[in-house]
Amino acid sequence: MTEKVDHYPMWKNLGLDLEKHDQLLAILPDIYKKIYIETQKNRPDMSFWDFVVGDIHGIRIKELKEAKEKGQKILGTFCLYVPDELIFAVNAISVGLCGGTNFSNYAAEGIVPPNLCPLIKSALGFALGNICPYFNSLNLLVGETTCDGKKKAWEVMEKYFPCELYVVEIPQCKDRPQAREHWIAELKALVKKLENLTSNKLTFENLKAAMEKIENKRNQIRRVYQARKADPPPISGKDALLVSQVAFYDDPDREIQMVGKLADELEKRIRDGVGVVKKSTKRILISGTPMAIPNWKLHQIIETSGAIVVCEETCTGTRYFDAKLEITGKTLEGLIGNLAERYLNINCACFTPNEARTEDIKRLVKEYKADGVVLYSLSFCQPYIIESIAIEKKLKEIGIPTISIETDYSSEDEGQLKTRIEAFLEMIKK
Ligand code: BJ8
């Protein structure tokens, strides 16, 4: 409560719609309490993440404000394909933006069609409605050419949101040699933009240091995921998802420390045989579209239906950290090449063809000893909905129980989804 009062002048200065913002902050604690506190037992120490959600627009926003006052630039990104390494190398700060609630949709109404992906509608609503202080803290928004919805969203953003926008052009057929060349050229163009914005030059030294830092952050998340392979898992899917969600916008140094500490605890729990569920609880892998805070809906349904989520093949899951970054090379050119290579190994449904994603899912099912796969697509997300049909068929052919779910951020279909998930789990048990 005290925190809330203290942050008011800052929110006002950022130009937030305070009334709407109050309404948003009023609903989050109840949702969090219901999903994270009341329905979970024997959690590892998640006090840092409990605090972060409770203070979601507080200390981090204050840190960004202070960094800005010292001359640092704040950049907002929407996709894994915009490399954090380049942004941090020139002493700017990258904040992963998204929208995981339909609370903000009203602000985008009439500007975008209703049958648009909820993630885009939510993010646009946050920006246009002045209800997210992360958007209002930015010096530059960095969009990218992935799905059609996002491509068009940048045009809307540019028209209605008063912040400079830069769009990175992502190659669509990444298996071709010219795609790599094009991607490197795009990364270099982004570097130019960043250098102009920050007045800092990208050098071999600062890029190498940023690559080491971001890869270290990913290493800590890898450790958390590695721990989830144990039976019983020492952390719930919900908590692991939260760790990943927060990593998108928190300070990387703090993330290395806090996620590292959590991973230490999880490794100890495994040694001590401590889990959050009983051994042999049915294990589910979710694959599909990213889940932005506070989209915890599917995890909540699965984990209150007698199963546990052990892995997410999503951009708020393995796609965030799976591709390894080589930090070798003696020249700046060499490091940029490594970076390009690493990012081209992320298998998003926006690429064509994208066979490697199915292979990733098969591999992850084995590694995490998953009993079944839930293919998750946000409504109107054509790339993931289309891919889910072929993937479901392929997984079933090799005997992996699979179900496809298409949903949005509303709670209206929760009952229906729960019935389907419970039936799916029954089928797996048999
Ligand atoms: S690398 S998944 S973060 S593009 S859900 S907005 S695809 S219509 S978010 Fe993504 Fe980058 Fe790919 Fe990952 Fe469009 Fe689908 Fe909406 Fe999506």
Alpha helices in 102-236 (DSSP H): 118-128, 133-136, 148-160, 177-198, 204-227
Overall pTM > 0.95: yes
pLDDT at 430: 86
CA dist., res. 155 & res. 124, Å (int): 11
Q: How far away, in angstroms, is 397 Cα from ligand 1 center? A: 27
What sign does the CA torsion over 34, 37, 39, 45 have?
Answer: positive
Residues 6 or more apart in contact with residue 358 via CB below 8 angstroms: 390, 391, 394, 395
Element (H, E) at 376: strand 372-378
Nearest CA to ligand 1 atom 11: 79
| DSSP string of 278-301, one letter each residue | -TT-EEEEEEES---TT--HHHHH
Tell me the best of 122, 170, 289 to mutate to test the pocket of ligand 1, counting ligand atoms within 8 Å of each CB and taking the most: 289
Tokens of 300: 């909540």
Report which ligand 1 atom has the smallest distance to the Cα of 98.
Answer: 9
Residues 284 and 308: beta-carbon distance below 8 Å:
yes
Tell me the best of 77, 150, 375, 408 to mutate to test the pocket of ligand 1, counting ligand atoms within 8 Å of each CB and taking the most: 150
Report which ligand 1 atom has the smallest distance to the Cα of 118.
Answer: 16
Q: How far away, in angstroms, is 347 Cα from ligand 1 center? A: 11
Tell me the best of 350, 352, 375, 376 to mutate to test the pocket of ligand 1, counting ligand atoms within 8 Å of each CB and taking the most: 350
Q: How far away, in angstroms, is 172 Cα from ligand 1 center? A: 13
Nearest CA to ligand 1 atom 10: 79
Tell me the best of 78, 142, 147 to mutate to test the pocket of ligand 1, counting ligand atoms within 8 Å of each CB and taking the most: 147
pLDDT at 3: 47
Residues 61 and 10: beta-carbon distance below 8 Å:
yes
Report which ligand 1 atom has the smallest distance to the Cα of 350.
Answer: 12
Nearest CA to ligand 1 atom 12: 348
Residues 122 and 102: beta-carbon distance below 8 Å:
yes
Chain length of the chain: 430
Which residue type, as a one-letter code, is found at position 3?
E
Q: For the chain, which residues make up each domain, given as ranges?
A: 8-429
Burial class of residue 323, CB neighbours in 10 A (0-12, 13-18, 19+): middle
CA dist., res. 100 & res. 118, Å (int): 8
Q: How far away, in angstroms, is 307 Cα from ligand 1 center? A: 27
Secondary-structure percent of the chain, ordered helix, strand, coil, rounded to 5 = 55, 10, 35
Q: Tell me the pLDDT of the chain (430 aa) as tens digits.
A: 444 558 999 999 999 999 999 999 999 999 999 999 999 999 999 999 999 999 999 999 999 999 999 999 999 999 999 999 999 999 999 999 989 999 999 999 999 999 999 999 999 999 999 999 999 999 999 999 999 999 999 999 999 999 999 999 999 999 899 999 999 999 999 999 999 999 999 999 999 999 999 999 999 999 999 999 999 999 999 999 999 999 999 999 999 999 999 999 999 999 999 999 999 999 999 999 999 999 999 999 999 999 999 999 999 999 999 999 999 989 999 999 999 999 999 999 999 999 999 999 999 999 999 999 999 999 999 999 999 999 999 999 999 999 999 999 999 999 999 999 999 999 999 8
- Give the binding-site residues of ligand 1, using a 6 Å CB cut-off: 79-81, 117, 119-120, 146-147, 149-150, 289-290, 315, 346, 348, 350, 378, 381, 383-384
